[in-house]
């Protein structure tokens, strides 16, 4: 599982910082999460292949989370894209994008599929044989979702020595990988645990930005391997976080602790602070395993 931070700062783009956008690589998928202004430039800087992006997840319709989307859609067209592009986001995103394409007479020459979200409850929005994606309803000034990405359990690994010992026919190998026991011709049943090894633990990632302090998400992200949680403000500016429905680094750490996550990645920083290290210091007082997102930073889990 690989996470590339394209942008992780709040509000407006600057010469040295970009608004929210990131790429999650999991199970041979390359998912784009949010698409703030300048995302396609950041994709090029980080050498991310445009052609591998087939699914884009937009948390909400504030500009610093989706104003880069029309340009990216247009660039895909100019690059001669033919594959379907799936966009998951709040109701209204289809109307917004379609109007720009209409006014510019620049309809895509590839299928553009919108999946508009309206439910205040968590829902499954993508699934294949390897990974699933569901929404995490958040508490912001407008309708906003986080996203929970989870690998599905892989097949068990065949214990070659054990199957050779019992002279098990190859015809049973697939069933063994699926966790089934094997009955020998002499009537003995060999338990699957003797014939195979546990697969790697499925990895999971939760993206939660933008949101106020919202403990209601804890059951939805319990024990997630990696949690990206916004930390727009420090606790000294908690009044601003309440007013704008954003979170502090301290509150992000509280959520991480309550949910018993493996690792917390902070982001969506306000640029009012002199150093993002201040966010780590505040969060680590509550939750120890803290990472700082930054533009261009790559995490491999």
Q: What positions carry a catalytic annotation? A: 64
Residue 228 to residue 206: CA distance in whole angstroms: 6
| 3-class state of residue 7 by DSSP | strand
**Nearest by Cα to 91 from 68, 125, 67, 114:** 114
Inter-residue contact 16 to 45 (CB < 8 Å):
no
Residue 301 to residue 97: CA distance in whole angstroms: 34
Residue 7 to residue 35: CA distance in whole angstroms: 9
Residue 260 to residue 224: CA distance in whole angstroms: 8
How big is the chain by its Cα radius of gyration, in Å?
22
> How far is residue 147 from each of residues 94, 196, 282, measured CA to CA in Å?
19, 33, 25
Q: Hey, what are 149's tokens?
A: 């990405």
**Nearest by Cα to 296 from 48, 38, 1, 7:** 7
């Amino acid at each position: 599982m690989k996470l590339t931070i394209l942008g992780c700062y709040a509000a407006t783009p600057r010469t040295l910082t970009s608004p929210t956008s990131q790429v999650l690589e999991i199970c041979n998928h390359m998912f784009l999460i949010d698409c703030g202004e300048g995302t396609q430039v950041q994709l090029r800087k980080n050498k991310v292949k445009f052609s591998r992006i087939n699914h884009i997840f937009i948390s909400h319709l504030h500009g610093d989370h989706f104003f880069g989307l029309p340009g990216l859609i247009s660039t895909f067209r100019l690059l001669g894209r033919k594959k379907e592009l799936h966009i998951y986001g709040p109701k209204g995103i289809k109307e917004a994008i379609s109007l720009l394409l209409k006014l510019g007479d620049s309809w895509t020459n590839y299928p553009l599929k919108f999946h508009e979200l309206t439910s205040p409850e968590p829902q499954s929005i993508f699934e294949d044989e390897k990974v699933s994606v569901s929404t995490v309803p958040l508490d912001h000034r407008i309708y906003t979702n986080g996203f929970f990405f989870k690998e599905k359990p892989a097949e068990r690994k065949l214990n070659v020595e054990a199957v050779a010992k019992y002279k098990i026919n190859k015809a049973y190998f697939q069933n063994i990988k699926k966790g089934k026991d094997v009955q020998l011709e002499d009537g003995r049943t060999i338990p699957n645990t003797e014939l195979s090894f546990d697969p790697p633990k499925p990895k999971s990632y939760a993206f939660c930005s933008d949101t106020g302090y919202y403990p209601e998400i804890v059951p939805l992200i319990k024990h997630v391997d990696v949690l990206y949680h916004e930390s727009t403000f420090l606790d000294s500016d908690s009044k601003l976080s309440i007013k704008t429905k954003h979170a502090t680094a301290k509150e992000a750490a509280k959520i991480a602790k309550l949910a018993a996550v493996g690792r917390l990645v902070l982001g969506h920083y306000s640029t009012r602070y002199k150093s993002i290290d201040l966010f780590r210091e505040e969060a680590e007082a509550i939750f120890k395993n803290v990472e700082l997102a930054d533009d261009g930073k790559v995490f491999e889990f």
